[in-house]
Amino acid sequence: MNVPKSGYRVFSANSSAACTELAKKITERLGVEMGKSVVFQESNRETRVDVKESVRGQTIFIIQTIPRDVNTAIMELLIMAYALKTSCAKNIIGVIPYFPYSKQCKMRKRGSIVCKLLASMLAKSGLTHIITMDLHQKEIQGFFGFPVDNLRASPYLIQYIQEEIPDYRNAIIVAKSPAAAKRAQSYAERLRLGLAVIHGEAQCSESDMADGRHSPPSVRNTTGHTGLELPSGKQQAPFPGIELPIMMAKEKPPITVVGDVGGRIAIIVDDIIDDVGDFVAAAEILKERGAYKIYIMATHGLLSADAPRLIEESAIDEVVVTNTVPHEVQKLQCPKIKTVDVSMILAEAIRRIHNGESMAYLFRNITVDD
C-alpha cells in the first residue's frame, strides 16, 4: 500500500503501457504502489494529465522513460510536473533514465543548444531535482540550477561481461572513435583488459562541427582582411595592417585500428546506440582484423529505424543495452539484443533521496572519466 501522507509518491508520466514497465519494476523494489494518475492524448494530439489523489506537502518522484515519440514524452513530463506543482507538492523529482536531446548540447554553426532549453523548461515546470543515467556529456549537469544525480550503468554492464561472456579474459575493449576512448579505457582498466581504438575516415567526430557559429563569414581574400559584409551587400573598410591566418581543412587518415584485436573477443562500448551504421561498420573492420566475436555494450538502446534488421544481418554477435529505454519490439525483431535491468540502482537512488541519505554509495569507485 502507499506510504502515509508524510511520505512520498511515485508516478509514471507515460501514456504508453510499454513505457511504464521500468516504473513498475522500481515501485516493486521500493514496496510502494504507483501514484494514481491518468496520462493520455486527446483526439487533437494534445496531452492531458489528471492526478487522481492528493499530493499536498509530499515529495513526488516522476518516472519518465523516453520512447521513440520523444517530444510527446517531454510534454507528458512537463505537464505532469506542472500539475503536481499547482497541486502543492513539496518537492518534485524527475527520474529520467535517458535524458533526451543530450546530443544537442553543443553549439553547431547557427543552431542552438537544445539541451539547455530543455533544462530550463523542466525547471520552469516545477522540477526541483533530477535523477538520470549516463548523460551523453557530463557537463550537461551545469545547465540546471538544481541538483542532478547522474548515475552510472557501467557496473551492471561490467558484471554482464564477467558473467555472460565466455572467456572474457581473452577480450579487448574497443572504442569506435577517439571520442569514445575515455569510456573504453575505464572499462578496460576495471576488467584488466587491453584497449583498441578505431580511427580514420569512416568515423565522424562529433567535435568536428562544434566550432561556433562560423560568423562573421570566412575571409575570402587570403592576403588580408577584407572587412565584414553588411546587410546591404556592401563591406566595411578593412582594418589596415591586419592579416588573418587561414585554418587548414581537416583530412582524416585512412581507417586504422590502434591495438591488436586478432584472435580476440572485441567489446565495443558506448553510451548510446541509435542508428547502428557506425557500429556495423566497426564490426566489419574488427572482423577483417581478426576478431572472432564482437559485442556491443551501451547504456541507452534507442535502436531507431532499421537497427534490428541491420544488427541481425551484421557481423555483430550480441548487443547489450539497459532498460532505460523500452525496446521490447526491437528484441522480437532481433534475438541478438539483450537487456540488463538497472531498476535496482534507480530505486535505491529514490530511497536515499527521500530518506536524506548520502548518494556516495552509488558512486563508489566512480572517477571523473567514467
Residues paired with 293 in a beta bridge: 265
pLDDT of residue 230: 57
By DSSP bridging, strand 337-340 and strand 171-175 are unpaired
Q: 147-167 pLDDT, tens per residue?
A: 999 999 999 999 999 999 999
Q: Is the peptide bond before 216 cis (omega within 30 degrees of 0)?
A: yes
User: Sorting pLDDT into bands at 50, 70 and 90, what band is 216?
Assistant: very low
Count of H helices and E strands in the chain?
9, 14
pLDDT above 90 (res 100): yes
User: Which residues make beta-bridge pairs with 206?
Assistant: none
In angstroms, rounded to a whole number, what is the distance separating the alpha carbons of residues 262 and 230?
58
pLDDT at 202 over 70: no
What does the alpha-carbon distance between residue 217 and residue 110 come to, in Å, rounded to a whole number?
A: 12
Residue 98, C-alpha cell as written in the block: 535517458
Position 219 scores a pLDDT of 46
Amino acid at 284: E
* Cβ neighbours, 10 Å, residue 246: 9
Instruction: Let me know if 153 is exposed, middle or buried by CB neighbors in 10 A (0-12, 13-18, 19+).
Output: buried
How many CA atoms within 13 Å lie on the side-chain side of 208? Answer: 11
Q: Which amino acid is at 71?
A: N
- Distances in whole angstroms, Cα of residue 263 to Cα of each of 171, 287, 290, 291, 369: 9, 10, 6, 5, 29
Look-up: residue for cell 554492464?
157
Least confident of 2-6, 46-50, 244-248, 307-311: 2-6
Beta bridge partners of 322: 300, 340
Residue 109 phi, psi dihedral angles, 5° rounding: 50, -120
Mind giving me the DSSP string for 255-314? PEEES--TTSEEEEEEEEE-STHHHHHHHHHHHHTT-SEEEEEEEEE---TTHHHHHHHS
Find, among 151, 152, 138, the residue nearest to 187 by Cα.
152
Spatial contact of 20 and 360, defined as CB atoms under 8 Å apart: no
Mean predicted confidence (pLDDT) in 7-16: 89
Query: How many angstroms separate the CA atoms of 219 and 245, rounded?
Result: 9
Neighbouring C-beta atoms of residue 225, cutoff 10 Å: 16
Q: Beta strands 129-133 and 148-151: pairing type?
A: parallel
Bigger pLDDT: 68 vs 198? 198
- Across the range 167-177, mean pLDDT stands at 95
pLDDT in tens, 279-316: 999 999 999 999 999 999 999 999 988 999 999 999 99
Q: Grid coordinates standing for 171? A: 577480450
* Alpha carbons 290 and 266: distance in angstroms, whole number: 10
User: Is pLDDT at 234 greater than 70 in this prediction?
Assistant: no
Three-state secondary structure call for residue 163? helix
Residues 6+ apart with CB under 8 A from 232: none
- Is residue 263 within 8 A of residue 236, CB to CB? The reply is no
CA–CA distance, 78 with 94 (Å, rounded to integer):
10
Q: Which residues, at least 6 apart from 72, have a Cβ–Cβ distance to it below 8 Å?
A: 15, 41, 47
> Over the chain, what is the mean pLDDT?
88
Average of pLDDT values for 122-141? 95
